[in-house]
Amino acid sequence: MDLSNENVIHVKKDGIEFLQFRKLLEYKDYINHAYSLGIDRNYRTARANKQPLEKYEYDKAMQDYKELSNAMGSNYTHLVKTNQDHTDEVKIITEKVNLDKPDFNLEQYSKTDGMITKNKDIMLATTNADCILLLFFDPIQKIIANVHSGWKGTLQRISVKTVQKMQDEFGCNPKDIICCICPSIRKCHFEVDRDVKDLFEDEFQDLESLDEIIEEKTPNAKWNIDTVLINKIILERIGLKQENIVDSGICSVCNSDLIHSFRVEKQGYGLCTALIELR
């Protein structure tokens, strides 16, 4: 199967598969990036409750990161990954902690779901299994960000808070910022109960397209929500150009043979990863 479309390219190299955004490839002299494919690979470095993995599981994850990094032409020791916890916390990364290995499972990155850096040789990594991952790049200021925005992060508008931090800390102009939306669960499969539906209606009641975003699935008393569209709208409202918000258009549930999905795999689900670094 080839997931290439007008916005992404499906790369197969040295037995490794990943996606790259055509828009970001226009700046390949400045940045490198990838979104992993393949459910035989698992980029989890700790359990969901933050407990350590068995050594063989951790070693396998390290090998998977190393092989993906090699395939995209990067050094896996540059990796920095936060301990995602569905927060709206975005941190600026100024240096690596470990010089000869990835910065994984470090306490200073607990309860953090977004990272920004202007430094080279720091490769920002996020993971998902249905949640939205967002890759940001300002080609003028040469700033990158990598953000995990599950439905809770979307409610907290972490994507907008990332752009605001890029503005405040690095002088970025939102009109220059590119945001690429990785594969995630889409409206077709993001079905929720009334309690979650009400949270979204309350938070985004000012959006004109709310009827399009939240669709009732009668008669089951369920609703389908388009969290990708929400992020597109709120990012455009803060100043990003519509043409700079680039969506992979790929549903993790519809493509669960290549992309990890919590809703499909349930207990014991694996994780994909999105990587971005400045050259």
Position 80 in a domain: yes
Position 37 in a domain: yes
**Residue 141: which domain range?**
8-188+243-278
Position 93 in a domain: yes
Which residues lie closer than 8 Å to 33 by C-beta, 6 or more apart?
20, 21, 24, 72, 135, 180, 274, 275, 276, 277
Position 127 in a domain: yes
Check if the beta carbon of residue 34 is closer than 8 Å to that of residue 8: no
Tell me the pLDDT tens digit for each residue of 65-102: 999 999 999 999 999 999 999 999 999 999 999 999 99
pLDDT band at residue 37 under the 50/70/90 scheme: very high
CATH number of the domain to which 75 belongs: 3.60.140.10
Position 265 in a domain: yes
Structure tokens given for 187 = 């409206």
Position 228 in a domain: no
Q: How many domains does the chain have?
A: 1
Is the model's pLDDT at 49 over the cut of 70? no
pLDDT at position 220 is 79
Position 230 in a domain: no
In whole angstroms, what is the distance from residue 267 CA to residue 263 CA?
A: 9
pTM above 0.95, yes or no: yes
Check if the beta carbon of residue 178 is closer than 8 Å to that of residue 136: yes
Which residues lie closer than 8 Å to 60 by C-beta, 6 or more apart?
42
The proportion of the chain whose per-residue pLDDT surpasses 70, expressed as a percent, equals 100
Position 210 in a domain: no
